[in-house]
Amino acid sequence: MSGLQDEAIIEVRGLRNQFGAQVVHERLDFSMRRGEIVGVVGGSGSGKSVLLRSIIGLVRPAAGQVRLFGEDVLSASDKQRQALERRCGVLFQNGALFSSLTVAENVEVPLREHHRELPDAVRKRLSALKIALAGLPADAGAKFPSQLSGGMVKRAALARALALDPDILFLDEPTAGLDPIGAAAFDQLILTLRDSLGLTVFLITHDLDTLYTICDSVAVISRKRVLAHGPLCEVERFDDPWVQDYFQGPRGRAAQNAASLHSHARG
């Protein structure tokens, strides 16, 4: 990588997150470069989602530094914070769509919040474009979340995350609850969007197939910090019991074999 792709688009240093007596992160360091897809893994309660929320400013850490696009998130003014928000698209766990709004109206929410000057007709056209980018049929825009399948809910939430043409996508367990075919299709959609739109993707997942299929690197959160971060071929050999159980267990080996077969088939 060279030029802009060498830029650290996210930098976290010495992060400490604490809720009451519970310390979630202690001296956690993390960074990622423009254009990467980084998979973030860790056991339940390790603080993956808390890290995501700290980076985008929804959780204020007890200590440490968070920089996004070179800007200090913690000391940013309201105007700076809004500018940073516009450059980030977030898909929360389970989609987090507004149940009383249609899919199209959900996608329009960020546009209404950050671009109030847009005429209704333009906002509707942009919403329809994002719905199409997320791989949904045009008639999905008029439906409510309760009328959608699990996979369609994920895609609708992705369309909303894409509404402001972000530089970074933050995805929290995007394939959780999907069947293998739906999960694989979603993975390929993320890869296509990254390549076509030049996105950077911060991806929390438990899905080993996702890690082996689309991630450029993997960060393991354990013992309140990022224990290992690098190419998957290096991380999977890291000398730690949790890492070994995760990557070298039956599911991990199956994912490795499937990725190897897919690579040979493409070759």
Residue 21 lies in a domain: no
- SS3 string, the chain, reads CCHHHHCEEEEEEEEEEEECCEEEEEEEEEEEECCCEEEEEECCCCCHHHHHHHHCCCCCCCEEEEEECCEECCCCCHHHHHHHHHCEEEECCCCCCCCCCCHHHHHHHHHHHHCCCCCHHHHHHHHHHHHHHCCCCHHHHHCCHHHCCHHHHHHHHHHHHCCCCCCEEEEECCCCCCCHHHHHHHHHHHHHHHHHHCCEEEEECCCHHHHHHHCCEEEEEECCEEEEEECHHHHCCCCCHHHHHHHHCHHHHHHHHHHHHHHHHHC
Give residue 256's pLDDT.
61
pLDDT digits (tens, 9 = 90+) for 215-266: 999 999 999 999 999 999 999 999 999 999 998 876 656 656 555 555 545 5
Residue 210 lies in a domain: no
Residue 215 lies in a domain: no
Residue 155 lies in a domain: yes
Q: Taking the model in full, what pTM does it have?
A: 0.90
Residue 147 lies in a domain: yes
Q: How many structural domains comprise the chain?
A: 1
Give residue 3's pLDDT.
46
Residue 4 pLDDT more than 80?
A: no
pLDDT digits (tens, 9 = 90+) for 131-145: 999 999 989 999 999
Range of the domain at 134: 94-165
Residue 102 lies in a domain: yes
pLDDT digits (tens, 9 = 90+) for 47-79: 999 999 999 999 999 999 999 999 999 998 989
pLDDT digits (tens, 9 = 90+) for 17-41: 999 999 999 999 999 999 999 999 9
Residue 31 lies in a domain: no
